[in-house]
Structure 1
Amino acid sequence: MPVYEYLCDECGDFTALRPMSEYQAPQPCPDCGAQAPRVMLTAPHFSSMSRERLVAHSTNESASHAPLNVDQYKDKQDRARHRAGCSCCSGMKSRTKKSKTATSPNGAKSFPSARPWMISH
């Protein structure tokens, strides 16, 4: 249950542990018994939260407006697993190219498509 803040006109502010379903209901003052409305006097204590908890909050917040379906989640995980230009999943051809060198039966090499005027060694 969260802790809410209330402001009594006679006694000042106080806090009370209340269920979330009663967040708008006034609370009786512990000193004088008068009904005190809920107020927000202090900011949430984000600075005292652990880094892991802050990351969890930001992840939840970023997913709330555009949640991923299962296929989108799998795609996101696969992209994170492989580097850019990965040949296994990016559709790029394999890095091993067929040699353009033609070898005759006697062992002489020729380069039919590249610079035919050059002599091979």
Structure 2
Amino acid sequence: MPMYEYCCEACGPFDALKPLSEFRAPAACPECGCSAPRVVGNAPALSTLSEAVRRAHAINEKSADAPRSTRSGHGMNCGCCATRSRPGKTRRTADGGKTFQGARPWMISH
């Protein structure tokens, strides 16, 4: 449940937890019990969030209207720009059999 801000004419501002379905409904003041209208107060304090959370929010906002596409360039972990390719672990013996570098000798290949 989100917390909304209300302002009682007699007692001043207060916060109350309300369901989303009741976001427009007034709330009872905790001190005097009078019905108080909801007010839009402070802006969200995004500057107090950690750098990682702010970066995650920025990535979410960017991907909402312009998602990253692999058609326009290199996708994530494309591998084509690697500095050097790594050789496979399969080795061939003189008689045509296969062995695997670093494998256990009792393993059967197929």
Task: Give the TM-score taking structure 1 as reference length.
Answer: 0.53
Deviation at residue 20 of structure 1 after TM alignment: 2.4
- In the alignment, what sits opposite 2:92? none
Q: Percent identity?
A: 44
C-alpha distance in structure 1 between counterparts of 2:16 and 2:52, whole Å: 28
2:33 paired with 1:41: no
Give the number of the structure whose residues are more often helix, by fraction: 1
Question: Counterpart amino acid of 1:38?
Answer: R
In the TM superposition, what are the counterparts of 1:1-121 in structure 2 within 5 Å?
1-67=1-67, 72=69, 74-75=70-71, 78-79=74-75, 81=77
Distance 2:66 2:16 in 1: 35
Structure 2 unmatched ranges of 5 or more: 82-110
**Runs of 4+ residues over 3 Å off in structure 1:** 74-77, 79-82
RMSD: 3.0
Consecutive unaligned residues of structure 1, counting only runs of 5 or more, are: 87-121
| 1:33 alignment partner, SS class | coil
For residues 56 and 43 of structure 1, the distance between their equivalents in structure 2, rounded to whole angstroms, comes to: 19
